[in-house]
Amino acid sequence: MSRKSVLICGGSGLLGSYVTKAFEENYTVHSLSRSSSPLSCDFTDTGAVQHVIERLKPDIVIHLIALTSIEACEQDTQKARAINATTVQNIVRNIPPETHFTYISTDQVYPDTAGPHAETHTAPVNIYGTTKLEGEEAALQHAKTLVLRTNLFGPSQISKRSSLSDFFINSFNAGEKIAMFDDVIFSPLHMDTLANLVKECIEKNILGVYNLGSRNGMSKAEFGYKIAAHLGLDASQAQVKQSGVIKTRIQRPKDLRMSTIKIEEAIGHAMPALEEEIKKL
Protein backbone atom coordinates (compact mmCIF):
# COMPACT_ATOMS: atom_id res chain seq x y z
CA MET A 1 0.00 0.00 0.00
CA SER A 2 1.48 3.34 -1.06
CA ARG A 3 2.07 6.08 1.47
CA LYS A 4 -0.37 8.96 1.49
CA SER A 5 1.09 12.32 0.55
CA VAL A 6 0.79 15.44 2.69
CA LEU A 7 1.26 18.99 1.43
CA ILE A 8 2.17 21.40 4.24
CA CYS A 9 1.52 24.97 3.09
CA GLY A 10 3.75 27.33 5.03
CA GLY A 11 6.13 24.64 6.18
CA SER A 12 8.91 27.12 6.96
CA GLY A 13 6.89 28.87 9.68
CA LEU A 14 6.92 28.45 13.45
CA LEU A 15 4.67 25.38 13.49
CA GLY A 16 5.80 23.93 10.15
CA SER A 17 8.83 21.97 11.39
CA TYR A 18 6.75 20.34 14.13
CA VAL A 19 3.99 19.29 11.72
CA THR A 20 6.59 17.97 9.26
CA LYS A 21 8.16 15.87 12.03
CA ALA A 22 4.76 14.49 13.09
CA PHE A 23 3.96 13.24 9.58
CA GLU A 24 7.29 12.35 7.98
CA GLU A 25 7.59 8.82 9.42
CA ASN A 26 4.39 7.47 7.87
CA TYR A 27 3.64 9.87 5.02
CA THR A 28 5.31 11.40 2.00
CA VAL A 29 5.62 15.03 3.10
CA HIS A 30 5.92 18.06 0.81
CA SER A 31 6.63 21.13 2.94
CA LEU A 32 6.27 24.31 0.89
CA SER A 33 6.46 28.03 1.40
CA ARG A 34 7.16 31.03 -0.80
CA SER A 35 10.92 30.58 -0.30
CA SER A 36 11.27 26.79 0.06
CA SER A 37 13.40 24.79 -2.35
CA PRO A 38 13.59 23.00 -4.69
CA LEU A 39 9.82 23.49 -5.03
CA SER A 40 8.32 26.75 -3.78
CA CYS A 41 4.92 28.35 -4.17
CA ASP A 42 3.35 31.79 -3.79
CA PHE A 43 0.01 30.64 -2.40
CA THR A 44 -1.55 34.06 -3.10
CA ASP A 45 -1.17 33.22 -6.82
CA THR A 46 -3.96 30.86 -7.90
CA GLY A 47 -2.04 29.73 -10.99
CA ALA A 48 0.97 28.77 -8.89
CA VAL A 49 -1.25 26.86 -6.48
CA GLN A 50 -2.94 25.01 -9.34
CA HIS A 51 0.47 23.98 -10.69
CA VAL A 52 1.63 22.66 -7.29
CA ILE A 53 -1.58 20.71 -6.65
CA GLU A 54 -1.49 19.14 -10.11
CA ARG A 55 2.16 18.22 -9.72
CA LEU A 56 2.04 16.80 -6.19
CA LYS A 57 -1.53 15.43 -6.09
CA PRO A 58 -1.62 15.45 -2.26
CA ASP A 59 -4.08 13.30 -0.33
CA ILE A 60 -3.92 15.73 2.59
CA VAL A 61 -3.32 19.50 2.63
CA ILE A 62 -2.44 21.30 5.87
CA HIS A 63 -2.58 25.09 5.70
CA LEU A 64 -0.24 26.89 8.11
CA ILE A 65 0.26 30.11 6.13
CA ALA A 66 -0.68 33.22 8.12
CA LEU A 67 0.23 36.81 8.77
CA THR A 68 0.09 36.47 12.56
CA SER A 69 1.35 39.89 13.64
CA ILE A 70 -1.71 41.75 14.88
CA GLU A 71 0.08 45.06 14.28
CA ALA A 72 1.09 44.15 10.71
CA CYS A 73 -2.47 43.09 9.91
CA GLU A 74 -3.82 46.45 11.10
CA GLN A 75 -1.22 48.33 9.08
CA ASP A 76 -1.96 46.48 5.83
CA THR A 77 -5.44 44.97 5.66
CA GLN A 78 -5.01 44.02 2.00
CA LYS A 79 -1.88 42.00 2.74
CA ALA A 80 -3.53 40.38 5.76
CA ARG A 81 -6.52 39.32 3.67
CA ALA A 82 -4.31 38.00 0.86
CA ILE A 83 -2.25 35.83 3.21
CA ASN A 84 -4.93 34.77 5.70
CA ALA A 85 -7.86 34.25 3.33
CA THR A 86 -6.96 34.43 -0.38
CA THR A 87 -4.35 31.67 0.00
CA VAL A 88 -7.12 29.44 1.37
CA GLN A 89 -9.47 30.26 -1.49
CA ASN A 90 -6.75 29.36 -3.99
CA ILE A 91 -6.19 25.95 -2.41
CA VAL A 92 -9.89 25.11 -2.08
CA ARG A 93 -10.46 25.99 -5.75
CA ASN A 94 -7.76 23.59 -6.88
CA ILE A 95 -7.99 20.49 -4.66
CA PRO A 96 -10.29 17.59 -5.63
CA PRO A 97 -13.28 16.72 -3.39
CA GLU A 98 -11.57 13.69 -1.82
CA THR A 99 -8.58 15.69 -0.51
CA HIS A 100 -8.58 16.21 3.25
CA PHE A 101 -7.98 19.91 3.98
CA THR A 102 -6.92 21.22 7.41
CA TYR A 103 -6.84 24.94 8.13
CA ILE A 104 -5.04 26.14 11.26
CA SER A 105 -6.92 29.13 12.65
CA THR A 106 -6.63 31.22 15.82
CA ASP A 107 -8.29 32.05 19.12
CA GLN A 108 -8.36 35.68 17.90
CA VAL A 109 -11.66 34.97 16.10
CA TYR A 110 -13.42 35.21 19.47
CA PRO A 111 -14.97 38.35 21.02
CA ASP A 112 -13.68 40.37 23.96
CA THR A 113 -15.98 38.57 26.38
CA ALA A 114 -15.46 36.02 29.15
CA GLY A 115 -14.29 32.54 28.11
CA PRO A 116 -13.96 29.67 27.71
CA HIS A 117 -15.32 30.28 24.21
CA ALA A 118 -17.35 27.65 22.39
CA GLU A 119 -16.92 27.23 18.63
CA THR A 120 -20.33 28.73 17.81
CA HIS A 121 -19.74 32.35 18.86
CA THR A 122 -17.19 34.34 16.84
CA ALA A 123 -16.81 38.12 16.77
CA PRO A 124 -13.19 39.18 16.11
CA VAL A 125 -12.10 42.60 17.35
CA ASN A 126 -9.07 43.09 15.08
CA ILE A 127 -8.05 42.61 11.44
CA TYR A 128 -6.02 39.50 12.19
CA GLY A 129 -9.02 37.73 13.70
CA THR A 130 -11.32 39.02 10.95
CA THR A 131 -9.13 37.79 8.10
CA LYS A 132 -8.50 34.42 9.78
CA LEU A 133 -12.28 34.00 10.14
CA GLU A 134 -12.58 34.79 6.43
CA GLY A 135 -9.99 32.06 5.86
CA GLU A 136 -12.13 29.63 7.86
CA GLU A 137 -15.18 30.48 5.77
CA ALA A 138 -13.20 29.90 2.58
CA ALA A 139 -11.86 26.58 3.91
CA LEU A 140 -15.34 25.33 4.74
CA GLN A 141 -16.40 25.71 1.10
CA HIS A 142 -14.51 22.41 0.69
CA ALA A 143 -16.59 19.53 2.07
CA LYS A 144 -13.73 17.55 3.56
CA THR A 145 -12.34 20.31 5.80
CA LEU A 146 -11.07 20.50 9.37
CA VAL A 147 -10.65 23.94 10.97
CA LEU A 148 -8.61 24.04 14.18
CA ARG A 149 -8.55 27.20 16.28
CA THR A 150 -5.49 27.23 18.47
CA ASN A 151 -2.72 29.08 20.27
CA LEU A 152 0.79 27.73 20.61
CA PHE A 153 4.20 27.96 22.25
CA GLY A 154 7.45 26.01 22.39
CA PRO A 155 11.03 26.26 21.16
CA SER A 156 11.27 27.88 17.73
CA GLN A 157 13.24 25.82 15.23
CA ILE A 158 13.61 28.67 12.74
CA SER A 159 15.87 31.69 13.05
CA LYS A 160 13.43 34.48 12.19
CA ARG A 161 10.56 33.66 14.53
CA SER A 162 10.13 33.07 18.24
CA SER A 163 7.20 31.98 20.37
CA LEU A 164 5.92 33.57 23.58
CA SER A 165 7.76 30.96 25.66
CA ASP A 166 10.98 31.79 23.77
CA PHE A 167 10.44 35.47 24.58
CA PHE A 168 9.98 34.80 28.28
CA ILE A 169 12.94 32.41 28.52
CA ASN A 170 15.28 34.76 26.62
CA SER A 171 14.13 37.76 28.69
CA PHE A 172 14.60 35.94 32.01
CA ASN A 173 18.08 34.77 30.97
CA ALA A 174 19.01 38.34 30.01
CA GLY A 175 17.57 39.84 33.21
CA GLU A 176 15.35 42.19 31.21
CA LYS A 177 12.54 44.22 32.76
CA ILE A 178 9.62 42.92 30.75
CA ALA A 179 5.89 43.40 31.33
CA MET A 180 3.75 40.30 31.85
CA PHE A 181 0.01 40.82 31.67
CA ASP A 182 -2.20 39.38 34.39
CA ASP A 183 -5.46 40.35 32.64
CA VAL A 184 -4.83 38.39 29.41
CA ILE A 185 -5.82 34.73 29.74
CA PHE A 186 -5.19 31.99 27.18
CA SER A 187 -5.02 28.21 26.75
CA PRO A 188 -2.21 27.33 24.33
CA LEU A 189 -0.57 24.01 23.49
CA HIS A 190 3.11 23.11 23.07
CA MET A 191 3.78 22.87 19.33
CA ASP A 192 4.85 19.25 19.60
CA THR A 193 1.51 18.34 21.20
CA LEU A 194 -0.35 20.45 18.67
CA ALA A 195 1.32 18.85 15.66
CA ASN A 196 0.58 15.36 16.91
CA LEU A 197 -3.04 16.27 17.63
CA VAL A 198 -3.39 17.62 14.09
CA LYS A 199 -2.17 14.26 12.82
CA GLU A 200 -4.57 12.39 15.11
CA CYS A 201 -7.55 14.48 13.97
CA ILE A 202 -6.75 13.87 10.31
CA GLU A 203 -6.25 10.13 10.80
CA LYS A 204 -9.60 9.95 12.63
CA ASN A 205 -11.18 11.86 9.71
CA ILE A 206 -12.57 14.58 11.98
CA LEU A 207 -14.24 17.36 9.99
CA GLY A 208 -15.72 20.72 10.97
CA VAL A 209 -14.62 23.51 13.31
CA TYR A 210 -12.92 22.78 16.64
CA ASN A 211 -10.96 24.52 19.37
CA LEU A 212 -7.63 22.83 19.95
CA GLY A 213 -6.13 24.12 23.18
CA SER A 214 -5.13 23.13 26.68
CA ARG A 215 -7.90 22.04 29.01
CA ASN A 216 -7.55 25.02 31.31
CA GLY A 217 -6.09 28.46 30.91
CA MET A 218 -4.00 30.95 32.83
CA SER A 219 -2.88 34.53 32.53
CA LYS A 220 0.22 35.28 30.52
CA ALA A 221 1.88 36.49 33.72
CA GLU A 222 1.21 33.18 35.46
CA PHE A 223 2.38 31.37 32.32
CA GLY A 224 5.68 33.27 32.43
CA TYR A 225 6.25 32.58 36.12
CA LYS A 226 5.47 28.87 35.71
CA ILE A 227 8.02 28.65 32.88
CA ALA A 228 10.62 30.31 35.10
CA ALA A 229 9.86 27.95 37.98
CA HIS A 230 9.99 24.88 35.73
CA LEU A 231 13.34 25.84 34.16
CA GLY A 232 14.91 27.38 37.27
CA LEU A 233 15.13 30.87 35.76
CA ASP A 234 15.22 34.20 37.57
CA ALA A 235 12.04 36.14 36.76
CA SER A 236 12.55 38.80 39.44
CA GLN A 237 13.00 41.60 36.91
CA ALA A 238 9.63 40.90 35.25
CA GLN A 239 6.81 43.31 36.11
CA VAL A 240 3.18 42.24 36.31
CA LYS A 241 0.93 44.77 34.59
CA GLN A 242 -2.42 45.08 32.89
CA SER A 243 -2.51 45.20 29.10
CA GLY A 244 -4.24 48.60 29.12
CA VAL A 245 -1.03 50.34 30.22
CA ILE A 246 0.13 50.17 26.60
CA LYS A 247 -2.07 52.87 25.08
CA THR A 248 -1.03 52.14 21.49
CA ARG A 249 -1.78 48.40 21.76
CA ILE A 250 -4.13 47.08 19.07
CA GLN A 251 -7.38 45.79 20.54
CA ARG A 252 -7.33 42.10 21.48
CA PRO A 253 -9.69 39.90 23.46
CA LYS A 254 -8.46 39.66 27.06
CA ASP A 255 -9.92 36.20 27.70
CA LEU A 256 -8.79 33.81 24.94
CA ARG A 257 -9.55 30.58 26.78
CA MET A 258 -11.22 28.04 24.50
CA SER A 259 -13.70 25.35 25.45
CA THR A 260 -12.28 21.90 24.64
CA ILE A 261 -15.54 19.96 25.11
CA LYS A 262 -16.24 19.51 21.39
CA ILE A 263 -12.75 18.31 20.39
CA GLU A 264 -12.53 15.96 23.39
CA GLU A 265 -15.82 14.31 22.37
CA ALA A 266 -14.66 14.01 18.75
CA ILE A 267 -11.18 12.69 19.47
CA GLY A 268 -12.12 10.45 22.39
CA HIS A 269 -9.78 11.75 25.08
CA ALA A 270 -9.06 14.84 27.19
CA MET A 271 -6.83 17.68 26.13
CA PRO A 272 -3.75 18.21 28.35
CA ALA A 273 -3.66 20.83 31.10
CA LEU A 274 -1.50 23.87 30.43
CA GLU A 275 0.72 22.98 33.41
CA GLU A 276 1.52 19.67 31.68
CA GLU A 277 2.37 21.47 28.46
CA ILE A 278 4.78 23.86 30.21
CA LYS A 279 6.66 20.85 31.60
CA LYS A 280 7.48 19.83 28.01
CA LEU A 281 9.77 22.85 27.67
Cβ-proximal residues to 94 (8 Å cutoff; 6+ apart), any chain: 46, 49, 50, 53, 54
Tens-digit pLDDT string for the chain (281 aa): 689 999 999 998 999 999 999 999 999 999 998 776 567 899 999 999 999 999 999 999 999 999 999 999 999 999 999 999 999 999 999 999 999 999 999 999 999 999 999 999 999 999 999 999 999 999 999 999 999 999 999 999 988 889 999 999 999 999 999 999 999 999 999 999 999 999 999 999 999 999 999 999 999 999 999 999 999 999 999 999 999 888 788 999 999 999 999 999 999 999 999 999 999 99
Chain mean pLDDT for the chain: 96
Query: Of 189, 211, 173, which is closest to residue 279 (Cα–Cα)?
Result: 189
Query: Of 84, 57, 62, which is closest to residue 18 (Cα–Cα)?
Result: 62
Q: Say what angle helices 191-203 and 16-24 make with each other, to 10 degrees.
A: 50
Tell me the domain boundaries of the chain: 5-159+188-215+257-274
Q: Note the CATH architecture for domain 5-159+188-215+257-274.
A: 3-Layer(aba) Sandwich (3.40)
Under a CB-based contact definition with an 8 Å cutoff, are residues 188 and 150 in contact?
Answer: yes
Euclidean distance between CA atoms 16 and 186, whole angstroms: 22
